[in-house]
Every structure is written in C-alpha cells, then in structure tokens.
Amino acid sequence: MRELKILAVVVFFTLLTYWGVEPYAHHEMHPTVEAPDYAFKGVDGLNGLDGNAKAGETLVQNNCVACHAIEKVGFAQSMDNASLAAAFQLTPPDLSNAGLLYNADYLAAFIKNPAKATKTEHKFQDGAVHPMPNYDWMQPQEIADMVAYLQSIAPKEVTNKEAFANACQRCHGIKYGDMLGGSMAAFTPDENIKAYMGKMPPDLSQYIRSRSESYLHEFVNDPQKHIDGTAMPRVGLTEAAEKQVITYMAEVGDSKKAERDELGPKFLIYFLVFAVFAWLWKAKIWRELH
C-alpha cells in the first residue's frame, strides 16, 4: 500500500510538471501557424487567364534563356555554377522542370515580381534589387503564355532527388546525400550564397529529424510563418512536389526510420514481460522476508 501511495505522488507531480511546461513548449515556443496554402491565394498570379504555349515559347526564349538553362529543349547552362553565381549573386535554376514543380499562379506572380512572390521584399531595400528583374511590364496574357509553355515542356514526373535539387540545392547542400551517389553540395559557392542570404544556409542532412515533418511543410510553403523576416524565399512548390522534397530529405537523413519503428512494439513487449517477471520476483522475495 505504501508503494502505491509513493507511485501516486510521483505520478501527480509528473503530470503537474507536464501540465505546466507543455503549454509553454508547444504554444509559446512553437506557436500554431496557418496550414500551408498550396493554392497560393494571395499572389497576383494568372487571374484566370489561359496561356498559349506556342506563343509562350518565343517569349521564354527572348526573355529567360540569357540567364536560365532549359536543358529539356536544348538550352544548356551558359557558364559553370561559380561563374553564374558571380554574375547573378546565385546560380539561376534550370527551367526544364519548373512547370511541373511549381504552382502556376506562383510562377506567374514570380515572373511579375520575384521579391513580392517570394515574400522577401524586406531584403531588397536601400537600392538592393532581386537578382531576377521584374517582368510586370509585360501583358498578363504574355505571362500566362510563358507559364503555359513551361508546363508544356515539363516532364510528367521527376525523382525525389530531382525535385530537391531544383527546389533547394541552389542554396542548401545535403551532404548525407553524397552517400547515395553524386555530390549534393549546394550549386552556389559558399561565399556567394552567404553574401546573398546574409548567412550560410544550413546543410539539410538532418533537418528531417531536427524538425517535424509538419514544420517542414509549413516552412517550405511559407518561411515567414515560422521565422518572420527570414531571407529564405517562399519557394512556390505544388503540394505533390513539396512532398517529394521532404520524402527525399527523409530518404537521406532518416533512412532507418522504418526499422526503428518496427523495433518499437518489440521493445514494449520485452519490457512488459520483464515487468511481469520483476513483479513475480519481488513478490517472492518479500513473501520470504515476511
């Protein structure tokens, strides 16, 4: 009976401590934010316009390929990554997969005003400008045509690694990915990306474990929700593409998760059996003492 009273006291104070700490840990340190918005409702996007891919082809060739590669249709990268970063502050992405990976309204908004679409206008003050110029001088129909063209040349699907590379690897490395083949270092050299972002973007090898999956979805969809004033841009991925990116991060950084989860029930059964034998042994010892 005495032991049960001790157990009750321990349980009471444990629950009291948890009740006092949990709200602070989960609501003050990690406040609830709005769910990811994969429709990108707040952006100045296509506004209902349907694009003409054929017309968009000429517009893209005239306005984009001077900086961007489009390997899918034969426009190779004009310089190596270091030279591109020196010229444009960071390495411009290849647009071959853009029509698949990025939301169409986001793409239209990005073409019009990259800083506004990425929610990084606060970064470009006092004469600083986004590496990509605004194209809001173009007609809305022309921008819709460009988006339609990018969608028309995009593949039906890409690998998780390709999705990560296009969406994240210009700034972030994921060194553990090297073990799966090929270098996963950031495309933009360290000195350039540090100057552009203000600090070195972190390696993402273990972010799948140091952050929750729900946090990563919220953060990638809109970084400002969690870190107000961050230099990281809103990326504009579709929900499917974002899942591919986070799946790749899990493949690289938490490849043993399935095995670990499988062991959990086995350990619980072991401890349960151990507890039964411990109780039986304790009962035997105390019975002999009394």
* Residues 86 and 1 placed together within one structural domain of the fold: no
Distance CA 126, CA 106 (A): 26
- Inside any domain, residue 258: no
Q: Give me the pLDDT at residue 179, please.
A: 86
Q: Which residue type sits at 66?
A: A
SS3 call for 268? helix
What is the token pair recorded at 147?
């988006």
Q: Give me the pLDDT at residue 23, please.
A: 67
Q: Give me the pLDDT at residue 263, please.
A: 87
**What does the pLDDT profile of the chain (290 residues) look like in tens digits?**
677 788 788 888 888 787 766 666 666 666 788 999 999 998 999 999 999 999 999 999 999 999 999 999 999 999 999 999 999 999 999 999 999 999 999 999 999 999 999 999 999 998 889 999 999 999 999 999 999 999 999 999 999 999 999 999 999 999 999 988 888 999 999 999 999 999 999 999 999 999 989 999 999 999 999 999 999 999 999 999 999 999 999 999 998 888 888 888 888 999 899 988 888 888 888 776 65
Domain that holds residue 271: 266-290
* Residues 56 and 11 placed together within one structural domain of the fold: no
The reported pTM is 0.84
Cβ-contact 44, 143 below 8 angstroms: no
* Residues 94 and 211 placed together within one structural domain of the fold: yes
How many domains are there within the chain? 3
